[in-house]
Structure 1
Amino acid sequence: MKRYRAFCFDLDGTIYRGKKAIPSAVDFIHQLQKKRLDVFFVTNNSSKTPSQIKETLRQFGVDASEKQIYSSALVTAKYVREHFGKAKVFVIGQDGIRHAFKQQNIAVVEEQPDVVVMGIDREITYDKLTKACLAVQNGAALIGTNEDIRFPTEEGFHPGNGSFVKLVSQVCNVEPVFMGKPSPVMLDMIRQEYGYAKEEMLMIGDNYDTDILCGIRFGCDTVHVNTGVVRTETVKEKELQPTYVVDDLSGLEI
C-alpha cells in the first residue's frame, strides 16, 4: 500500500458490527495512531452526536476526538442552512441530527415545515411517516441524511434510513435529496479543513454503494473490507473497482 496522510473510516460494518468490535480494524487504527497518521471517522449514521460517537468508539477500544468525527447530520444541517436559510424544518431522527440543527440555529417544528429532513429513527412510527408525507405533499422539500437501505448488526441486517425516505418519496412522487455517502461532501470537508491532496487520502469501508463509491466520486483511493454489508464477490463484479480489496484490515500493511 502506498503512503497516505489521512485514513477515513466508515463505522458500522468496518470498525464494529452492532455491539461487537472487529478486532482487525481496531488493531489497524492503533497502528496508524502509533505512527501519528491522521484518522477520521466518516459515518452516515445521523442518530448520534459527535460526543456520543466518540464514546461508542471508546467502548470498542478506539480513542478519537470530536474533530475527527464527520457525520451525515453535520453535513445535512449545513446544507439546510446554506440552501434554505431560516426555513422551518420537520425532523424525523434522533439526537445527532437535532443537535446539529441546534448548532446551526435552525428552527425544528411539528407543523407547516418548509423542509422535511429524515435521519435514522429507531422509534419511527406510522404517525411520523404520515406527517412527513403530508408536509411534502404540501410543498416541503424532502432531504435524507443518507440513503442506506440496510445496515449490519450481530443479529443480521436492520432497515436503514434510506428505506424510510424512499417510502415517503414514493407516496409523494418526489425525488429526495440525500446528503451522506456516496456523496463526497464529507470527504471534501475533511480535505478543505486539513489541506490534504486527494491522493493523500484513503476511504475505508464495507459498503460498496456508499463508502467505496464515495471515495471514487471524491477521487481518492479506497479499501473495501469484507466485514459488513457487501461481500467481496459482489464487489468484484462492479465496473468501478476499489483500489484495494481485503477480507479484513489485517490484510493491509502500512
Structure 2
Amino acid sequence: MLVKPRGLLIDLDGTLYHGRHRIPGADRLINSLKDQAIPYLYVTNNSSRTPEQVAIHLQGMGIPALAEEVVTSSLAAAQYVAEESPGAKVAMIGEEGLMQALNAAGLRIVEDSPEYVIQGIDRSFHYDKLTLAVRWIQEGAISVLTNPDLQLPSDTGLMPGAGSIGAAIEAASGIKPIIIGKPSSVLMKYASDRLGLVPGEIAVIGDNIRTDIAAGAHAGCQTILVMTGITTTLNMNEHLESTGVKPDYICQDLSEVTKLLCP
C-alpha cells in the first residue's frame, strides 16, 4: 500500500511528454496534485535548458509549470561545486542552462587553469575542447559530469548525450567524473532539499528504471514507474537485473498514477 508522500519529484521526457508532444493525462496529473496541495518539483537530467526554458516548454504543451518548480542537473552541479569550493574557478563544457547555473552559484568560469571541469551536453563540442578538458583534468582539475545520459531524444531521432561526451573525456584522461544527475542520488538530494523534505517523505515518478527509479531508490525515496517511456514490458527484466532496483509501484499510464496519488 502506498505511503502517501508529502512531496513528489517528477521526471519530464518520457514521463510527461515525448519531445514536443504531451503524454495523455500529464495535465490532469499536475492539476490534481495542485488541487490536493501536494508539493512537487519537475526534475530533469537535461543540462542545456534553464528552468525558465523548461517551464515554457511545459506550458506550451498545456502542462502547468513555473521556473521555480524546475530542478535541472546544471543547478545541482553548480550547487555541488559551490558548496565544495565557494567561488571556484571552473571550465565549462556545456550550454546556456549550465552557464547560467554556474554564474548564479558564484563560480568563476575561466578558460585557463580551472579547479573544476564541469561538463554537460554541448552540441558545439569539438576536438580542441576535448584536448583542453583532458589536459586540465590530468593537471588536477576535478571532473564533474552533469548527467550520464548517453543518448538525447530529439524531434529527428536520438542524438549523443552528455554521457557520450563524458565517456570520451574519461577515456582520454583516465579519470572518472563525479556524476550529478540520475541515477546518482546527488540530484535527488538537491531536489529533496528544495522541497524541504527528507527522502523518505518523497515519491519519485519516472519512466526509466535505470535513471529515475534507480536515483530515487539510491536516495531513499519511494518510486513509481510509469510505462510511458524508456522502460517497457519487453526490457523491464533487463533493466531490473542491470540496476538491482525494483520500483515500489508500476503504473501503465498517467491516469493510474493520478488514481494512486489523488484517489
Q: Is the 8 A contact 1:149 1:161 kept in 2?
A: yes
Taking the aligned partners of 1:197 and 1:137, their CA distance within structure 2 comes to 37
Q: Is the 8 A contact 1:205 1:225 kept in 2?
A: yes
Of the structure 1 ranges 185-194 and 243-252, higher mean CA displacement relative to structure 2 is found in 185-194
Q: Could you tell me which residue of structure 2 aligns to residue 234 of structure 1? A: 235
| 1:180 partner SS | coil
1:82 aligns with 2:87: no
| 1:61 partner SS | coil
Q: Could you tell me which residue of structure 2 aligns to residue 96 of structure 1? A: 97
1:251 aligns with 2:256: yes
1:172 aligns with 2:177: no
Please provide the CA RMSD for this pair: 1.9
Structure 1 segment 216-227 matched on structure 2, within 5 A: 216-227=217-228
Of the structure 1 ranges 177-186 and 88-97, higher mean CA displacement relative to structure 2 is found in 177-186
Taking the aligned partners of 1:211 and 1:194, their CA distance within structure 2 comes to 17
Of the structure 1 ranges 162-171 and 151-160, higher mean CA displacement relative to structure 2 is found in 151-160
Taking the aligned partners of 1:207 and 1:157, their CA distance within structure 2 comes to 16
Q: Is the 8 A contact 1:10 1:205 kept in 2?
A: yes
Taking the aligned partners of 1:88 and 1:190, their CA distance within structure 2 comes to 25
Q: Is the 8 A contact 2:86 2:106 kept in 1?
A: no
Q: Is the 8 A contact 1:13 1:152 kept in 2?
A: no
Deviation track 1:180-200 (CA, whole Å, cap 9, x = no partner) reads 112223333343344435343
Give the drift of 1:101: 1.0
Give the drift of 1:117: 0.7
Q: Is the 8 A contact 2:207 2:228 kept in 1?
A: yes
Q: Could you tell me which residue of structure 1 aligns to residue 21 of structure 2? A: 20
1:189 aligns with 2:190: yes
Structure 2: runs of 5+ lacking an equivalent: none
1:101 partner amino acid: L
Distance 1:198 1:86, change over 3 A: closer
2:74 partner amino acid: A
1:240 partner amino acid: V
Q: Could you tell me which residue of structure 2 aligns to residue 72 of structure 1? A: 73
Give the drift of 1:176: 0.9
Taking the aligned partners of 1:232 and 1:20, their CA distance within structure 2 comes to 22
Deviation track 1:103-127 (CA, whole Å, cap 9, x = no partner) reads 1221111222221110111222222
Taking the aligned partners of 2:247 and 2:141, their CA distance within structure 1 comes to 37
Structure 1 segment 36-51 matched on structure 2, within 5 A: 36-51=37-52
1:212 partner amino acid: I
TM-score (ref. length: structure 2) = 0.88
Deviation track 1:52-71 (CA, whole Å, cap 9, x = no partner) reads 11111111212222222111
Taking the aligned partners of 2:135 and 2:191, their CA distance within structure 1 comes to 36
| 1:232 partner SS | coil
| 1:181 partner SS | coil
Deviation track 1:129-149 (CA, whole Å, cap 9, x = no partner) reads 222122222222111001111
TM-score (ref. length: structure 1) = 0.91
Taking the aligned partners of 1:248 and 1:122, their CA distance within structure 2 comes to 33
Taking the aligned partners of 2:220 and 2:164, their CA distance within structure 1 comes to 28
2:225 partner amino acid: H
Taking the aligned partners of 1:232 and 1:245, their CA distance within structure 2 comes to 11
Deviation track 1:39-97 (CA, whole Å, cap 9, x = no partner) reads 21011111111111111111121222222211111111111112233332110111111
Give the drift of 1:224: 1.5
Distance 1:43 1:147, change over 3 A: same
Following TM superposition, the consecutive aligned residue runs of length 4 or more in structure 1 with deviations greater than 4 angstroms are none
Taking the aligned partners of 1:33 and 1:39, their CA distance within structure 2 comes to 9
Distance 1:57 1:129, change over 3 A: same
Q: How many residues align?
A: 254
Of the structure 1 ranges 95-104 and 124-133, higher mean CA displacement relative to structure 2 is found in 124-133
Distance 1:139 1:212, change over 3 A: same
Q: Is the 8 A contact 1:8 1:42 kept in 2?
A: yes
Q: Could you tell me which residue of structure 2 aligns to residue 35 of structure 1? A: 36
Q: Could you tell me which residue of structure 1 aligns to residue 135 of structure 2? A: 134
